Amino acid sequence: MSTFTTPEWVHHAVFYQIFPDRFASARYPQIPKPANLEAWDTPPTSHGFKGGDLIGVLEKLDYLQDLGINAIYFTPVFQSASNHRYHTHDYLKVDPILGGDAALRRLLDEAHRRGIRIVLDGVFNHASRGFFQFNHILECGASSPYVDWFRVHGYPLHAYEGKPNYECWWNLPALPTFNHANPQVKKYIYEVARYWLDQGIDGWRLDVPFEVQEEGFWQGFREVVKTANPQAYITGEIPWDATPWLQGDQFDGVMNYLFTYANWSFFGGRNIHRELVGHWEGHGPQYFSTSGTGFLANLEKLLHLYPMPAVLAQLNLLDSHDTARFLSITGGDPRLLKLATLVQFTYPGAPSIYYGDEVGVEGGQDPDCRRSFPWDESRWDHKLRSYFQLLIRLRLAHPALRTGEFIPLGSSEDAVAYLRRLDGACFVIVINNSDAPFHITFPAGPLADGTVLQDLLGKGTARVENGNFAGLALPPRTGALLQAG
């Protein structure tokens, strides 16, 4: 669509993804919490609760602001009987363990005062057995007025024993799927979306939206959201090519898992832990290239896959609550995370940091990827966190790194170089993903002979001679962010 626009603030956002049960527990909770909580620093389990809450996040806004982020994406916060809260009981109530509606209100007010946007997770494909309308069917059977809110194939419902006789996500009886063809269901979901926007949230991340097959559903959702707030962000969890959803009538962007796969494979190389990658490789196998040439080609290809407004609104991530941690996938070498983060913060779209990556948190597949944040600073990789801070500061200081032209310069088996340019400002990013020093000799593209470039990540310089870079050697597994003088 020629009129396709995406929220301007997203183009300049640095997101931080928070899994609320695991990020921070309030020192001064507003309401009493249940007593049966797991110890904070013990390994996470599938069903146990650590007791993280929204007041805890509020108390850590200084930490987040010091890091440099200006937007937060929360996995679900609504009332639920699961620690991840993708089993929603009530879409109009914040979970009491998280502090309830009052905690979200306080967090929104303080975050907005600091210039930090808040995006919530919308789980609108399925509900839970505790969702009122489904529970009503459990109690009343075929006599329930809500039977057509779901697709039921028999009574009584087999919600706890036997094969479920109603449609549910991945045949999990705890996750009955909505009947989106029912106008009442559609109206309810749209009203939920509008309600929280009216409360002040800045957008929605949509869980498994590809599962909703009802024609026009997401188009209607966009209309409701953009009517409530034209600058609200809509991003979807689409782990493969999202072209059908990014034509201007549905989402602004998606969680850019194709970008994720490209980083996993190049930086993980032949030592990538494929058992931790798991099923994700099947969603975009063509983006799994171990060579620098293939990696640069993938980066360029992704910039032409979608309309530019969507490219600038992509949520560019290296891992998430649904994947193993980047550090674990690639073998635990923080140098590789630094290299991938350099790419992430010099690439079009909004970078998204999964909580704890910046201090070196590792983790395998769910639930291990959802470890509690280690607030004991002796356990932090302080050099890694400082590197994140520097990259965030540089990205926010230089518009060219956010919305500038992306120009590939050269690649080899283990190295990549590209240029970002806007209004005369030029930056060259060089990645050395090898175990040996790399002398930068790639073509300099539009940079004239005699141009001198300063590395903003170190003390080195490069210059342009006879159309090529010269004068700078990168140590093994390092990168440079060169500013043309």
Of 447, 472, 469, 448, nearest to 458 by C-alpha is 472
Distance of CA 160 to the CA centre of its chain: 33
Task: Decide which of 397, 428, 450 is a domain's last residue.
Answer: 397
- Residue 458: CB atoms within 10 A of its CB come to 15
The 3-state secondary structure of 56-78 reads HHHHCHHHHHHHCCCEEEECCCE
On whether both 232 and 305 belong to a single domain, the answer is yes
- Residue 144 counted as domain residue: no
Question: What's the pLDDT at 340?
Answer: 98
d(CA 66, CA 63): 5
∠ Cα 68 70 74 (to 5°): 115
In a domain? residue 232: yes
Residue 167 has phi, psi (to 5 degrees) of: -75, 135
Residue 119 falls within a domain, yes or no? yes
Q: Which structure tokens are listed for 441? A: 């000799």
| Tens digits of residue pLDDT in 196-246 | 999 999 999 999 999 999 999 999 999 999 999 999 999 999 999 999 999
pLDDT in tens, 311-321: 999 999 999 99
Instruction: Tell whether 210 and 353 lie within a shared domain.
Output: yes
Question: Is the same domain home to 315 and 350?
Answer: yes
My answer on whether 393 and 410 are in the same domain is no
Q: What is the pLDDT of residue 225?
A: 98
SS3 content of the chain, % helix, strand, coil (to 5): 35, 20, 45
Q: What is the C-alpha separation between 348 and 86, in angstroms, rounded?
A: 30
Q: Give the residue with greater pLDDT, 133 vs 33.
A: 133
Question: Strand 350-354 vs strand 15-18: parallel, antiparallel, or unpaired?
Answer: parallel
Considering the domain architecture, whether residues 369 and 267 belong to the same structural domain is answered as yes
- Reduced to 3 states (helix: H, G, I; strand: E, B; else coil), residue 94 is strand
So what's the pLDDT on residue 3?
A: 86
Whether 262 and 290 have beta carbons less than 8 Å apart is answered as: no
According to the model, what pLDDT value does residue 176 have?
Answer: 98
Residues 303 and 412 in one domain: no
Rounded mean pLDDT, 163-170: 97
Measured CA to CA, the distance from residue 102 to residue 30 in angstroms comes to: 9
Residue 168 belongs to some domain of the structure: no
Mean pLDDT of 284-302: 98
Catalytic center residues: 207, 237
Residue 288 has pLDDT above 60, yes or no: yes
| Assigned domain for 162 exists | no
Tell me how far apart the alpha carbons of residues 325 and 278 are, in angstroms, rounded to a whole number.
Answer: 12
283 in a structural domain: yes
Q: How far apart are CA 63 and CA 72, in angstroms?
A: 13
Are the CB atoms for 15 and 9 separated by under 8 Å? no
- Whether pLDDT at 276 is above 90: yes
Write the secondary structure of 316-384 as one string of H (helix), E (strand) and C (coil): EECCCCCCCCHHHHCCCCHHHHHHHHHHHCCCCCEEEEECCHHHCCCCCCCCHHHCCCCCCHHHCCHHH
Residue listed under structure tokens 């080609």: 297
Coil/strand/helix, residue 24: coil
The domain that holds 280 is classified in CATH as 3.20.20.80
Which band of pLDDT confidence, cut at 50, 70 and 90, is reported for residue 342? very high
Closest among 86, 77, 157, 160 to 119, alpha carbons compared: 77
41's CB contacts (< 8 A; 6+ apart) are 372, 374
For the record, the structure tokens of 168 come out as: 């549910």
* Residue 477 domain flag: yes
Sign of the CA dihedral with 472 first, then 350, 101, and 370 last: negative
370 and 417, same domain (yes or no):
no
Measured over the CA atoms of residue 55, residue 60, residue 65 and residue 67, the dihedral's sign is negative
Q: Do residue 276 and residue 412 come from a single domain? A: no
Give the chain's mean pLDDT: 97
Query: What counts of helices (H) and strands (E) characterise the chain?
Result: 16, 19
- Burial call 307-343: b when 16+ CB within 10 Å, e when fewer: bebbbbbbbbbbbbbbbbbbbbbbeeebbbbbbbbbb
Partners of 431 in the β-ladder: 416, 479
Q: Which of 372, 397, 422 is the last residue of a domain?
A: 397
Whether 206 and 99 map to the same domain: the answer is: yes
Domain end position, chosen among 382, 397, 412 = 397
Find the domain containing 477 and state its range.
Answer: 404-484
Q: Which residues contact 57 (CB under 8 A, 6 or more apart)?
A: 18, 20, 23, 24, 72, 107
pLDDT of 31: 74
Q: For 15-42, what is each residue's pLDDT tens digit?
A: 999 999 999 999 877 778 899 999 999 9
Name the β-bridge partners of 439: 473
8 A C-beta contact, residue 253 and residue 313 = yes
Q: What distance in Å separates the CA atoms of residue 103 and residue 30, rounded to the nearest whole number?
A: 8
Q: If pLDDT is split at 50, 70 and 90, which confidence band does 1 have?
A: very low
Dist. CA 372–CA 43, nearest whole Å = 8
- The verdict on whether omega for the bond into residue 230 sits within 30 degrees of 0, i.e. cis, is no
**CATH number, position 427:** 2.60.40.1180
Residue 104 CB neighbours (<10 A): 27
CA dist list (Å): 28 to 56, 268, 437: 8, 42, 51
Residues 381 and 412 in one domain: no
Query: Encoding tokens for residue 213?
Result: 């097959």
The number of domains in the chain is 2
- Say whether both 379 and 436 belong to one domain: no
Of 391, 410, 398, nearest in space to 299 by CA: 410
pLDDT at 2: 60
Q: What percent of the chain has pLDDT over 90?
A: 97
Same domain, 361 and 261: yes
Whether 158 maps to a domain, the answer reads no
When pLDDT is averaged across residues 166-189 and rounded to a whole number, the result is 98
Contact 462, 434 (CB under 8 A): no
Residue 327's pLDDT is 98
Instruction: Check pLDDT > 70 for residue 14.
Output: yes
Distance CA 313, CA 295 (A): 21
Listed residue (421, 455, 414) closest to 436, CA to CA: 414
Percent of the chain whose pLDDT exceeds 70 = 100
